[in-house]
Amino acid sequence: MDKKIFFIAAVVAALAAVIIYNLYSIVSLKQTVVVNNLPVKVKDIAENQIVPEKKDPITPVPVFGLPLEQAEERITKKKFGQYITSQNSPVQPEKFRGYHTGTDFEIFLEELNANVPVQAICDGKIALKKTATGYGGILVENCELDNQLITVIYGHLKLASIAKKAGDTLAKGEEIGILGKAFSAETSGERKHLHLGVHKGSAVDIRGYVQKEAELANWLDAVRNMFL
């Protein structure tokens, strides 16, 4: 082959290679890639070495377990902090008056004559298990929430169904017993439901209602630490 033609061909081929390479670079630099879950232009990384900081996603984690199956659907009557009177109460007739210190979990229609198991919402130790006016069977558990001592009040339980006694430990999710029978001594004459209260500190205060709104500060809304 003629040396001159070969040289020209080589130069043309080299130029073509350079042009193709540059075109490819321009196109590819405009592309975005995903770095640490964020889209970044390849160009930015190539020119500035910018790599976005990885941010930890904030994922709320429910701390408390569910006291009953399908717990969220059961909150249809008295919520935490609600001011109840005989006139405005969703429960009629109503004998209580005051700020509700807990959350009520209702039963489904088909559960009226069925055993409805109640589970511990946290790991803890049983502080109290007795019959109390306004509740029927009640169990109080000492737990911790964010390194703070709390007591959890489970009201309207069938006391005879609770195998464990004061001083025994409960694990989160463990079955405590079953709900008391509707309008019987097991519920202190109330409808069949669970009253769940969370009181700050280790002192036992089983009041289901307080008369001053400021007193609610001694209780916590369990639901806020239960669902996502």
Residues in the site for Zn ion, rule: CB under 5 A? 104, 195
- At which residue do the structure tokens 């701390």 appear? 63
- Give the C-alpha separation, 85 to 36, whole Å: 54
Is 48 or 87 the residue whose CB approaches Zn ion more closely?
87
122 conformational bin, left if phi > 0, alpha if psi -120 to 50, beta if neither: beta
Contact status, residue 151 vs residue 127, Cβ threshold 8 Å: yes
Is 43 or 191 the residue whose CB approaches Zn ion more closely?
191
Q: How far is the CB of 209 from Zn ion (least distance, A)?
A: 8
Strands 148-157 and 193-200: antiparallel
Tokens of 44: 């930015």
Is 129 or 195 the residue whose CB approaches Zn ion more closely?
195
Is 129 or 193 the residue whose CB approaches Zn ion more closely?
193
Is 45 or 131 the residue whose CB approaches Zn ion more closely?
131
The secondary structure element, H or E, covering residue 126 is strand 124-132
Q: How far is the CB of 155 from Zn ion (least distance, A)?
A: 7
Q: How far is the CB of 129 from Zn ion (least distance, A)?
A: 18
Q: How far is the CB of 193 from Zn ion (least distance, A)?
A: 7
Q: How far is the CB of 144 from Zn ion (least distance, A)?
A: 23
Identify any residues that bridge with 159 across adjacent strands, giving them in sequence order. none
SS3 state at 192: coil
